[in-house]
Structure 1
Amino acid sequence: MFASVSSTATNIQARRDITFLVLAGFFLGTLGMLNILGLTRFLQLGQLGSWPIVVAVGALPYPVTFLCTDLISEIWGEYKANQLVWVGLLLNGWIILILWLGGLLPSLPGSDDITFRTIQQLSFGTIGASMVAYLTAQFIDVKLFHFWKRLTNGKALWLRNNGSTLVSQLVDTTAVVLISHYGAHVLPIRTDAPLIPQLGSFIVGGYLFKLLAALADTLPFIWLTGWLRWWLSIPEDKTKLPGSFANDRQSTTETR
């Protein structure tokens, strides 16, 4: 009997571990795509009224990062979600290091240096912009998620999902566009047209894409949260995952 209980607990913990790794993997992998593909190509996905929905190819999967942090916030707690955000920052630094090192070391004669230098230039501009926007937006997302969770006493799952993501996405989009232009000068700006309307178009178009993606992931988020609570054997008490670092840290503080 005891062996059966122990085996069940081990299986549940294994599920929790692999689920966290999958969510973290999607989060970090998406950041990597954003920084490498970045601003290499801009896509027009449609038009809403007079505003074209324009998004950089590297930003296509970016809304997935907010879905991942929302799921981790809901299941593992704020502390664990913030840990993942910091690991993402380290990933950005690692990418910068490799791109810098790759450009510093001598290349083999006949290598396509032009392609590498173009990717390096665009990536440096993207990462410089995204690191500031990323930290600000992700921490705002995590903080607002738990603000709405406390305010509603763990209810209104749709509200904390959208209420955190829509605000943080606006901060992220605005910061990326402004820093990409004024700090890195990597946006495809037309010199024969006024600057402000072009920057506004990039911000509005990018935010419209992220807004629509955020609204579209509301039902998947609610379903995934319920399914994960069942599959990971998490009680419906709106608390953090038993045994998470957040709980361990809180228990240690209370013991002291």
Structure 2
Amino acid sequence: MKKTVDNLILLNVIFTAGLIISNVVTAKLMYTGITLFGNAVTLPGAGVCYAVTFLATDIIGELWGKKEANKAVIIGLIGQIFASLLILLTEYLPAADANMQETYVRLLGQNWVFVLASLAGYLIAQKWDIWIFHTIRARYILKYGHNKHRWIWNNASTMTSQILDTIVFIGIAFGIGFGWLFQPEMRPVLASMMIGQYLFKMILAALDTPIFYLLTRNSKKGEELVLEEFKV
């Protein structure tokens, strides 16, 4: 991918769209057929959509730098809040059909505990992702003078940030929102949900590595990269 303004805008659009759609489809749960602690592991429909956002910020960070990656996170946050407000506004507009209104509320109705959990998980995970991505990248480039092994910071940042996102989102939405954290019989369900969803996200993070390499193949290399990274 060439380092152009148009491509940067495109990645920001993909990032924000993936983020917004992940919140729209998160209510759909997928059964995996796997059990942990005697409980069936379910995955949210948002899993794949949300994984795209981490890939997008990693590409932006590799080609345009940490500052632009952080801008994408802020843009995504604004987009997410604005989309939630529009969905809420539409919900309270007069409905011509009661059945359609009921369907709308069931599919798109905003559970505000879930919204807050999503926003908290998003900000914590994305900020960590960008910080660890560029910390590992900078140290590697300083030591070796190249960025050939980009998979290291690509996977390390995404896989660790997904731990934070999973714990924060599920902990707030289900642990506190549903009260499962305070119910001994539901804690194993909470734990199986966290572990199962994280393993799914980890697999997706590994699978997006070839795409990351493909789209960052034009990133700067060698001494030129070192000079730019550390402002020598």
Structure-to-structure mapping, 1:114-193, within 5 angstroms: 114-122=102-110, 124-153=112-141, 155=147, 156-185=149-178
Runs of 4+ in 1 over 6 A off after TM superposition: 48-51
Is residue 173–residue 203 contact of structure 1 (8 Å, CA) maintained in 2?
yes
Q: What residue is the counterpart of 1:61 in the other structure?
A: 49
Q: CA deviation at 1:45?
A: 3.5
Q: CA deviation at 1:73?
A: 0.5
Q: Deviations over 1:17-59 (max 9, x none)?
A: 22212221221111111111112x2112453887865311122
- Judged with a 3 Å threshold, the aligned counterparts in structure 2 of structure 1 residues 97 and 183 are, in CA distance, closer, same or farther, namely farther
Bigger Cα displacement from structure 2, 18-27 vs 62-71? 18-27
The answer for unaligned runs of 5 or more in structure 2 is none
Alignment partner of 2:25 out of 22, 29, 37? 37
Query: Which letter maps to 2:44?
Result: A
Q: What residue is the counterpart of 2:64 in the other structure?
A: 76
Q: CA deviation at 1:103?
A: 2.7
Is residue 31–residue 43 contact of structure 2 (8 Å, CA) maintained in 1?
yes
Q: CA deviation at 1:110?
A: 4.2
Q: What residue is the counterpart of 2:90 in the other structure?
A: 102
TM-score of the superposition, structure 1-length normalised?
Answer: 0.76
The answer for unaligned runs of 5 or more in structure 1 is 1-11, 242-246, 252-256
Q: CA deviation at 1:224?
A: 2.2
**Over aligned residues, Cα RMSD in angstroms?**
3.1
- Judged with a 3 Å threshold, the aligned counterparts in structure 2 of structure 1 residues 109 and 122 are, in CA distance, closer, same or farther, namely closer
TM-score of the superposition, structure 2-length normalised?
Answer: 0.83
1:28 aligns with 2:20: no
Q: Deviations over 1:159-212 (max 9, x none)?
A: 111111111000001111111114543x9x8xx992111011111111001101
Alignment partner of 1:200 out of 178, 191, 195? 191
SS at match of 1:108: coil
SS at match of 1:112: helix
Query: Which letter maps to 1:95?
Result: A
Q: What residue is the counterpart of 1:47 in the other structure?
A: 34
The count of corresponding residues between Structure 1 and Structure 2 is 223
Is residue 125–residue 162 contact of structure 2 (8 Å, CA) maintained in 1?
yes
Q: CA deviation at 1:79?
A: 0.5
1:238 aligns with 2:222: no
**Matches of 1:225 and 1:48, distance apart in 2:** 38
- Calculate percent identity across the aligned residue pairs: 27
Q: CA deviation at 1:102?
A: 1.8
